[in-house]
Structure 1
């Protein structure tokens, strides 16, 4: 799939000139307060880790995108477009893709951005002991570099790679800085439009514009102050008084933000919450019990009580209208508590016979809704909060839990994460629905620009949704509030793209 070497709007990234930190901090305050355009962002997802390999592809990737540029990024249609790579092409067999890095680029520590740097980033994501990304790169067999070119050899035909190697999975750090991953984790060094001047772990980071960023002419923000958001109830007052001019907000705060004269906008995305079942453990070893749970779920109740009208009911991990959404699977298991009770009776269970622990990481009103809806069909649920929930969840030791995903730029990656035999979000590993591997292989073999791609992808979604391990419930929005002085942001699905954005007309 040849991609012409032309300029596209880029995503913000950050860089750190480590040797200049002390000097820049001394005059960095002036950079943020000398009348320039300053983004003052209060984030509920302030990064715990600034090494993208450790941080992974979760919600914090938007903040790390202030730090690191990637080979590709996502446009408003959700397609992969050039970022550090100005183009790419596949070989005839479809099992090798060559990316061409833009000439003359450098990381903020002066190291060159070239094929060798890209190779180092991929190898580190695959092999670093504490990498959260290795499971996303299983199709990559080997990487070779030749000047500005990097050749990615694959274990199979896979046309998803340009979608995959964007800012969620391959934010590229300076190889020199990454030689000490522990240091990089709190001192990010990238090749993007901003350079860190001050970083207080877990609290605040201050950045200034990087004039060497490849698309610096379209970056109109002079400095960024990223702050860990306080309690959600105080964010709107901070926006109203000018302490911040941009923040993610909870749906419950949207009305107050509008009344305060702020712009409230929904960033399109792939958020989807689900009830996770382990069919390797009783009572979910019985298919009738699984189906009973499916029919007991009233998705609209989640929307009405948790999203204040901003969310939507969903029975798939994709929003309706997205290329991977399968219309044929819509409402396959409608809310029908009477049918749920009937299935439980057919499975030999009387009301109250089934008692389940719903294990979650923190108090969550969604858990109470699940508890209430299952109680209505005769299943008793005891909510257990375990701060170390992630360990048994990803070890697949739990029987019953909740999960929410922000999706992936590669729709196929979203499918395999949920439904694949080794999918991290598949609580029933190694179970997978019949025919899923074949459907996935067909998607990989189909070029993204093929007219057959949508139907092939939707067919894979249809097969995946036969899984007994997940019951999708609702989609909560990516909701943000900003000062009216900040111009509109591009509506790139799930991505905050600051290219072309102005503050106060500057």
Structure 2
């Protein structure tokens, strides 16, 4: 889920945040436009629109803020530029012959920043906590996990409820960022402790975090940033001016500010992502209990208008949760419901006038586009902004809403989240399209390196897109800007990887 748009920090909010400053070790803030301080250290000064709302990864879940949490927490695996699972804390992994058990072998000699060993017991504790903690946002992602046992100090054996070859992808930083088992879950939000590349030294909730390089990180030799200053981004225009003047040297930006960033001689680059926006429909509530109304909405949507008005040259229209060219993208499903307002009006003939409330978490121009396009076919939409929108959405109490997803490292997890009977992004739960469960099972039963994996996965996408609960509209990349002193980041889709990144202090 994409978090709400950039928050404007008022003086009241700043005073409140400063009142609850939790300082572990006070550190001096590095200055200078390049990120260099007087002692020559390299400091990443990052303004983010996705400042963690909670620093416990089990509570925070797999939303967009996982990128920020990855500064502190490492995972068993990570993904490379092709989206393949590669080693992180786990040096290797191996399935049994039936595919319902996988053993992760950890790197030797690792420890969390509090000195606790990174061992099989710590992995077991992390998975058990994600499955059982009352406020866990991850338990729905771990339904294939039956139990975890340890074999010696470095082997964590994951026992599955079914054959499931997706686990190495699932256990990446999107779902299983591992905290120290010695930490109290009640205090992780204030004192995050992981085994990632950096250690938090100062934290102002919701506003700022100061971090230093973790010398015990397994790949510390390739981390060339000494410090990180992570701040919650102000409004978009202020971010660009802050980058220009050296207040920040790295930030996510909005498409409408990309030109200003380029004009300011900043590096503006597109980080490939899996972001996809949709209109969420509840077919368990009238008028969507009538399939004709659902199809009328499908044909009423002009996806290109979203791109033209919101993309500013970035992004593209989409009718799937995956970008073209990605292994899970199904070419056979392309343009299945093309823009055809005449057909939409024909489907609505004889149906009493429809008036609906579109509930969203914050003001969003997408909502106005939907309102206008549906009005053109005779459906009246009232837009309601509800800051507590998440409660009725995830309780499946809304009739119509908007949603944006940042995808998952496991494409199957993305599919089940959208189309599965218990999918958190399926507003029509427990409904699922016919044949989807069987198609998803075939994906789980197919090894990632099988020649049949791509076609099997695409068949599951095709089955999922029969769902009447979602109408995808457009996708947008992760748009970022940085000072020229900061070197390029690895091109890992959907992730921000600081391996090898340097700041030129010259």
TM range (shorter): over 0.9
Unaligned regions of 5+ residues in structure 2, if any?
1-21
1:25 aligns with: 26
Structure 1 residue 448 corresponds to structure 2 residue 448: yes
Aligned to 1:190: 194
| Matched-pair contact (CA < 8 Å) for 1:269–1:406 | yes
**Distance in 1 separating the partners of 2:38 and 2:280:** 48
- Equivalence for 1:143: 148
| Contact 2:27 2:210 (C-alpha < 8 Å) held by counterparts | no
191-200 vs 393-402, greater mean Cα deviation: 191-200
- SS of 1:197 mapped into structure 2: strand
SS in 1 for 2:355: strand
Gaps of 5+ in 1: 1-20
What do residues 318-366 of structure 1 show as CA deviations (whole Å, max 9, x unaligned)? 0000000000000000000001000111xx225xx00000011111000
Separation of aligned partners in 1, 2:162 and 2:23: 48
Check whether the contact 2:90–2:104 (CA below 8 A) recurs between aligned residues.
yes
Task: Give the counterpart of 2:351 among 349, 352, 374.
Answer: 349
Provide the C-alpha distance between the structure 2 equivalents of 1:318 and 1:504, rounded to a whole number of angstroms. 36
The aligned counterpart of 1:431 is: 431
Count, aligned residues:
480
Q: Secondary structure of the equivalent of 1:169?
A: coil
RMSD: 1.4
Secondary structure, in 3 states, of the residue corresponding to 1:409?
Answer: coil
CA 1:79–1:23 in 2, change beyond 3 Å: closer, same or farther?
closer
Please show how residues 37-52 of structure 1 align to structure 2 within 5 Å: 37-52=42-57
Gap change, CA 1:33 and 1:195, over 3 Å in 2: farther
CA distance change for structure 1 residues 336 and 253 in 2, over 3 Å: closer, same or farther? same
Equivalent positions of 1:336-415 (< 5 A) are 336-345=340-349, 348-349=350-351, 353-415=353-415
Query: Which residue pairs with 2:3 in the alignment?
Result: none
TM-score (norm 2): 0.93
| 1:259-270 correspondence runs (5 A) | 259-270=263-274
Aligned residue among 225, 247, 251 for 1:247: 251
Specify the alignment match of 1:4 in structure 2: none
* Matching of residue 290 in structure 1 with residue 294 in structure 2: yes
Cα distance between partner residues in 1 of 2:494 and 2:438: 29
More divergent stretch after superposition (444-453 vs 476-485): 476-485
Distance across 2 between alignment mates of 1:427 and 1:309:
31
Distance (whole Å) between structure 2 residues aligned to residue 354 and residue 22 of structure 1: 55
Answering whether residue 241 of structure 2 is matched by residue 273 of structure 1, we say no
> Pairwise mapping of residues 283-322 of structure 1 onto structure 2 (< 5 A)?
283-322=287-326
Aligned equivalents of 1:396 and 1:204: distance in 2?
A: 34
Residue aligned with 1:372, SS: helix
1:269–1:478 contact (8 Å) kept in structure 2: yes
* More moved, 320-329 vs 193-202: 193-202
Q: Are the equivalent residues in 1 in contact too, given 2:30–2:43 (CA < 8 A)?
A: no
CA drift at 1:194: 1.1
Aligned to 1:12: none
